Amino acid sequence: MPLIKLSCTQKVSPELLGELSSAVAETVGKPEQYVMVVAQTAELMMSGSEGNAAYAEVKSIGGLNREVNGALIKKICALMERRLGIPSARVYVTFQSVERDHWGWNSSTFG
C-alpha cells in the first residue's frame, strides 16, 4: 500500500522503478509486494527555471514519520542524482499518511 508517484523531466527506466520500490519498502517497513511505483514524464519548472527536476509523492497507511521521511528523501534524492543527474536541490518530495479505510485494493479497503 505504499505508493510513490514520481513526475520528472526524464523518462524513468525499469531499473529505477525497481530501486524506488525497494527503497520505499525497506525504509517504510512494508512488504514490497504492496508497493506501487508510478512514474511519468512531465514539464516542470522549479525556482523560476526550466531544466531537470523531479517531484515525488509518497503515500502510505502508517510507517511515515520524521525519521522515515528523512531517510527516504535522502534515498530518493540519491537515486535521482545517480540515475537521472537531477541534483537534490531540484527535487521536491511530499509525504502523506492515509487512513486504512481511505485506501482500496483487491475489491475492498484496508480498513
> Where do the domains of the chain lie?
3-109
**What is the spatial distance between Cα 57 and Cα 60, in angstroms, rounded to a whole number?**
10
Q: What is the pTM of this model?
A: 0.94
Write out the E strands in 1-111.
Answer: 3-8, 36-41, 54-60, 91-97, 104-105, 108-109
Q: Which three cell numbers stand for residue 63?
A: 510507517
| CA of residue 89 relative to chain centroid, distance | 16
Q: How confident is the model at residue 105 (pLDDT cuts 50, 70, 90)?
A: confident
CA distances from 50 to 9, 46, 92 (A): 9, 6, 15
Residue-wise pLDDT tens digits, 40-77: 999 999 999 999 999 999 999 999 999 999 999 999 99
Mean confidence (pLDDT) of the chain: 96
The 3-state DSSP class for residue 77 equals helix
Give the β-pairing of 54-60 and 3-8. Answer: antiparallel
- Joined together, the cell numbers standing for residue 22 give 525497494
**Which CATH architecture group holds 3-109?**
2-Layer Sandwich (3.30)
